Amino acid sequence: MSTQSYNPFETAQHQFDHVADLLDLGQATRDLLRWPMREYHFSIPVRMDDGSVHIYRGFRVQHNDARGPGKGGIRFHPMETIDTVRALAVWMTWKCAVVDIPLGGSKGGVVCDPHNMSQREVEQLCRGWVRQVSRNVGPVLDVPAPDVMTNPQNMLWMLDEYEVIHGGKYPGFITGKPLSIGGSQGRKEATGYGVIFTVREALKDLKLKPQGVTASVQGFGNVAQYAVELLQQIGGTVVCVSSWDQGAKCAFSFRKKSGVSVEELRTITDPFGGIDRGKAQDLGYEVLQEDAWIEQDVDMLIPAALENQITRDNVGRIGKGVKLIAEAANGPTTSEADVALCARNMFVIPDFLANAGGVTCSYFEQVQSNMNYYWNKDEVFGKLDTTMTSAYHAVRETANKRKLTMREAAYVISISRVAQACKDRGWV
């Protein structure tokens, strides 16, 4: 799918319009929720290592904060556009609402390619971004987090800059911080584990036991690794994972019918989730072509890599035995493929429900940072599980009651919660 022809914000608006019709929302509510409430567009001058000054374009979009402070990551990407950031801010609003955490939706970005920047230049960019919006973000306004090509170190620079400007310690300004400086236990596992908490509940609905259930997973990054880990811990078997090969510029699928071993694969995986093909073969894995993960004869698929991966072209190749798709990635299924999945009566856990474990744990980090008291892993995972499980059941119940797909039901819950908050505040 070409990014030139695809406008994610238009997609987000279409999705909203469909659900607004289902909910019969009033015009004012529609007008409010179709667009972000606030957008900040700014320039960030950075003195480069060669002495020149480069001006970067930055954004912060706050879609809706009726339910609480905005929450959303900051992306550093050379192809960043305001419409991408807008769409992602909208989806953050719905994601926070579906798991019922008291946060709104935001997203930020900078048009840049960190691969071509030194650490000092990236630090200047991070600090520059905060200087531009420091009056409009903060623990009680809008809480940023890492996202595409930003990391915990970047968050720490941003926090430091924010604290210098505001003259105090505000660890709740930003999440995704290193564990040693205000991060939360369990953050790295949270998204993957959250996926499997919803999968576990879906298996109950499908009358399947986790013991003996088989899965194929696209991707082997952070989310995929922890999803595979927990699925295996509850008794499931993952027979195939795929990963991007930077050298070959394409992905490969790695299959072991007796079940892949996360521990084993981690030893031959680079920090970006790329599995070493040669070493994988040595360990007894079959190395298959890119799309092979989708064709496996398994009970469930977990796309945990990128958007637009299950498409009109490959949806027909999904194995006949597949009963469940858990969307661990954001937007892995195109709308055409989604229609085909519905026609097959496939049970789909939609992305913004399945992968909401990440933002839920970010919320936990924010809470801990604001009170400067930190929980142990037991507490984090206990809360994460009950939050995700409650959210799943609410969506499932709505889907059953209103005869909707899980995706429609998740949107219905989210949008109605946000609309209600706007109404309760007297905005509409």
Partner 1 sequence: MESLLAPFDRTFFDPSQRFKVIGTGSLGGKAHGLAVIQDILAMSWDNTSFPGIDVSIPSLTVIRTDVFDAFLTRNELHKIAYADEDDSYKAYAFQKAALPAEILGDLRALVEQVHTPLAVRSSSLLEDALSEPFAGVYETKMIPNNQPSVDERFRRLSEAVKFVYASTFFRSARDYVRATSHRTEDEKMAVILQEVVGSPVGDRFYPNVSGVARSYNFYAMGRARPEDGVVSLALGLGKTIVDGGKCWTYSPAYPTIAPPYRSSVELVKSTQSTFWAVNMGKPPAYDPINEREYLVEGTLQDAEEDGRLQYIASTYDPASDSRTPGTSRVGIRVLDFSMLLASRELPVNQLVRNILAVCAESVGAPLEAEFAMTFDPPRFGFLQARPMVVSQAEVTLTEADLRSDRTRIRSGTVLGNGIVDTISDIVYVKPEMFATTSTRAIADELADLNNVLTSSHRPYILIGFGRWGSADPFLGIPVAWGQISGAQAIVEASIPDLNIDFSQGSHFFHNLTSFHVSYFCIRSGGSDSIDWQWLQSQRIVNDRKFTRHITLPNPLTLKVDGRSGTGMVASHE
Q: Candidates 5-13, 83-91, 328-336, 374-382: pick the segment binding partner 1 (CB under 8 A).
A: 374-382
408/414 Cα distance (integer angstroms):
10
CB of 419 to partner 1, least distance (A): 28
127: left (phi over 0), alpha (psi -120 to 50) or beta: alpha
- Per rule CB under 8 A, is residue 336 in the interface with partner 1? no
What DSSP string describes 201-240?
Answer: HHHHHTT--STT-EEEEE--SHHHHHHHHHHHHTT-EEEE
308 or 389: CB nearest partner 1: 389
91 or 381: CB nearest partner 1: 381
β-pairing, 53-64 vs 38-47, is antiparallel
Output DSSP code: residue 333. Answer: B
What residues from 211 to 270 belong to the interface with partner 1 (CB under 8 A)?
211, 230, 233-235
**Is residue 392 within 8 Å of residue 324, measured between CB atoms?**
no
- Encoding tokens for residue 226? 């922890």
- Per rule CB under 8 A, is residue 384 in the interface with partner 1? yes
CA geometry: angle at 338 spanning 239 and 206, to 5°? 55
Work out which of 9, 59, 197, 364 binds partner 1, going by CB under 8 A: 197
CB of 404 to partner 1, least distance (A): 25
Q: If you search the block for the tokens 């946060």, which residue do you land on?
A: 103
**Is residue 141 within 8 Å of residue 60, measured between CB atoms?**
no
- Per rule CB under 8 A, is residue 381 in the interface with partner 1? yes
**Is residue 359 within 8 Å of residue 96, measured between CB atoms?**
yes
What DSSP string describes 23-52?
Answer: HT--HHHHHHHHS-SEEEEEEEEEE-TTS-
Work out which of 378, 402, 424, 425 binds partner 1, going by CB under 8 A: 378
CB of 209 to partner 1, least distance (A): 9
Q: Candidates 9-17, 72-80, 154-162, 185-193: pick the segment binding partner 1 (CB under 8 A).
A: 185-193
- Per rule CB under 8 A, is residue 377 in the interface with partner 1? yes
369/71 Cα distance (integer angstroms):
15
Work out which of 59, 162, 193, 411 binds partner 1, going by CB under 8 A: 193
Q: Which of 71, 107, 188, 323 is catalytic?
A: 107
**Is residue 215 within 8 Å of residue 231, measured between CB atoms?**
yes
**Is residue 151 within 8 Å of residue 73, measured between CB atoms?**
no
CB of 228 to partner 1, least distance (A): 14
Work out which of 316, 376, 424, 425 binds partner 1, going by CB under 8 A: 376
- Per rule CB under 8 A, is residue 284 in the interface with partner 1? no
Residue 201 has a CB neighbour count (10 Å cut-off) of 19
CB of 326 to partner 1, least distance (A): 16
119 or 386: CB nearest partner 1: 386
Work out which of 279, 312, 383, 423 binds partner 1, going by CB under 8 A: 383
Residues ≥6 apart with Cβ < 8 Å to 413: 97, 98, 394, 395, 398
CB of 381 to partner 1, least distance (A): 4
Q: Candidates 26-34, 43-51, 100-108, 189-197: pick the segment binding partner 1 (CB under 8 A).
A: 189-197
Specify whether 177 is catalytic: no
CB of 193 to partner 1, least distance (A): 6
87/24 Cα distance (integer angstroms):
22
- Encoding tokens for residue 176? 């995704």
Binding mask 389-418 toward partner 1 (x if CB under 8 A, else -) reads x-----------------------------
**Is residue 259 within 8 Å of residue 228, measured between CB atoms?**
no
CB of 389 to partner 1, least distance (A): 6
19 or 228: CB nearest partner 1: 228
Residues ≥6 apart with Cβ < 8 Å to 341: 310, 315, 325, 333, 348
Count of positions on this chain that bind partner 1 (CB under 8 A): 23
Active site residues: 107
In the complex, the residues that contact partner 1 under the rule CB under 8 A are 186, 189, 193, 197, 200, 211, 230, 233-235, 375-379, 381-386, 388-389
